[in-house]
Amino acid sequence: MSGRHAPRRRLPSRLSSRFPYRPAYTAAVLIAVAALIAGLGLWATSSGGEGDDARPAAGELPRNAVSGEPPEGPCAPDAKLVPPCGAWWGAYIPYDGDGSLTEPVYAFEKKIGRRLDLVYTYHDMSGNELDGTLLTPDEQVLGRDRMLMLAWESTVWKEPHHAGYTETQLGWKNIASGRYDTEILDPQIRRIKAYGKRVFLSFDQEVDARIKEGAGTPAEYVAAYRHLHDRFKRIGADNVVWVWTVSGYLGSAELMKQLYPGDAYVDWIGMDQYNYFVCHDTTDWKDFDRSQRPTYDWLLANVSATKPVMMAEFATVPDPADADRQRDWYTAIPEVVRTLPKARALVHWNRSVPGRGCDLTVNSGPGLEGYRTAGQDRYFAQPVPNR
């Protein structure tokens, strides 16, 4: 969560839901079918069934998720999942109190009148069933009709789903040395390899904010990132699209340049920028353009001009004095993003953060109205790959 980069106070980053661990996922088959008519046309969301659609078992290697023929034509995404005719529309949706990710995602999609192209989730390196396992059963179900973005942190969370936002750092120098290869990295890499379908992966997202948290030095991060990248290659998990994600806070500009692993190791550049407004006790309302463009321009000019850009977390709080202002913030997105041609994925952070005026969700009201309208623009109607 980009509150990490707040200069005056730290908001918890990468928030997760607050329910206790379950010893195992339920074996029951989830059934949910929604037929929605939206600006994108008729579509259906399926959450389980018989045979190949049955819910995956917890703990087992994922089944190969590649299916059907790949999209064809001038708008088909390339090998790095870049859509040439528009941008992906995605979101981070927290788990619900029953430990489900599928149900909150389906409910959100019903509200916005379309299926998400991309679902973003977060994991630590504990190796436990939920937080430390890449491609959980819920993720695999959602991944049948959507792309997945997995954020993998080199920490062990001290509470289930990072509920108290405290963690133990494994240390970048230890990752780079290979200390955790056999115990932690390799089992998860094999899971992604077995899944087969391409996934986005971000290692220690918002990395510029992690130095002060004790993760290590910029040089140690670069070494750890490259080691993880090479470990995937050695094991043969070539279905990963690498996203290097920074907060985008320009007060850390020089640090971000030091943390870049190099073009050979990065497929996309991610940035997490918000309009916090009163959440940070300011009177400075930044519309969508002003909240995103400065970091976008800086990354292209100072890190890489060739990589596609993912707005890996974005959102706005409402203006208590003007309810329509939040709606207008979102409805401006299609027009603005067309003037940011490298921005090829937009991922909404649909969760509040602690503090007065810090509701970043679009679950109701003008915010939902504006977000729904933006997401139905044809620029975000790109053919989602199934492999």
Q: Is 166 a residue whose pLDDT tops 80?
A: yes
| Average of per-residue pLDDT across 215-223 | 98
How is 155-189 classified by DSSP, letter by letter?
Answer: EEESSGGGTT--EEE--HHHHHHTTTIIIIIHHHH
Closest CA to 372 of 103, 91, 114: 114
At residue 130 the predicted structure's pLDDT band, cuts being 50, 70 and 90, is: confident
Stated as kind and residue range, the H or E segment containing 35 is: strand 33-38
All residues at 6 or more sequence positions from 264 whose CB lies less than 8 Å from its CB, including other chains? none
Q: Among candidates 124, 186, 204, which has minimal Cα distance to 161? A: 124
The pLDDT value recorded for residue 58 is 84
Model confidence at 52: pLDDT above 80: no
The fold of the 2-380 domain, in CATH, is TIM Barrel (3.20.20)
Query: Residue 352's pLDDT band (boundaries 50, 70, 90)?
Result: confident
Residue 41 pLDDT exceeds 50: no
- Catalytic positions, written as ranges: 206, 313
pLDDT band at 12 (very low <50, low <70, confident <90, very high): very low
pLDDT at residue number 48: 40
Span 328-339, pLDDT tens digits: 999 999 999 999
**Amino acid occupying residue 242:** W
pLDDT at 385: 97
pLDDT above 50 for 325: yes
Q: What is the dihedral of CA 16, 230, 198, 15, to 10 degrees?
A: 10
**Residue entry with tokens 């070539």:** 238
Element housing 89 (H / E): strand 88-92
Is the pLDDT reported for residue 34 higher than 90?
no
Question: Cα 126–145–366 angle (5° rounding)?
Answer: 90
Residues 229-266 as b or e (16 or more Cβ within 10 Å = b) = bebbeeeebebbbbbbbbbbbeebbeebeebbbeeebb
Q: What is the maximum alpha-carbon separation in the chain?
A: 55
Average pLDDT, the chain: 88
pLDDT at position 53, please? 59
